[in-house]
Amino acid sequence: MANLIPWEKFEEEYAKSFCENKGAPALPFRVALAALIIQERLGISDRETVEQIRENPYLKYFLGLTNYQTPSPI
């Protein structure tokens, strides 16, 4: 599924929604959307989603993260 979504195509449009000099920087589009997909598919809370992503290398791959990237960006 990770290879089916044209992540780069949507990143530019997504980035237009945020102001560069206000608040914390936005997560990349792939991370934000993939986390929502994971949460919806697994039917879990925000905190459980973060925990699952931290523990599961397959979910990290889906988010476009390296297997050993710590701490998790979300």
**Given this model, what pLDDT does residue 46 score?**
96
Domain count, the chain: 1
Beta carbons of 3 and 61 less than 8 angstroms apart: no
- Domain residues for the domain of 32 are 26-74
Respond yes or no on whether the N-terminal peptide bond of residue 71 is cis (omega within 30° of 0). yes
Distance CA(35)–CA(40), nearest Å, equals 9
Region 6-12 average pLDDT: 84
Taking residue 38's Cβ as centre, other Cβ atoms within 10 Å add up to 19
The Cα 71–Cα 38 span in angstroms is: 18
Check residues 13 and 49 and name the one with the higher pLDDT: 49
Task: Please write the tens of the pLDDT for every residue from 44-73.
Answer: 999 999 999 999 999 998 998 876 555 556
Q: For residue 62, is it within any domain?
A: yes
Instruction: Tell me if 54 is assigned to some domain.
Output: yes
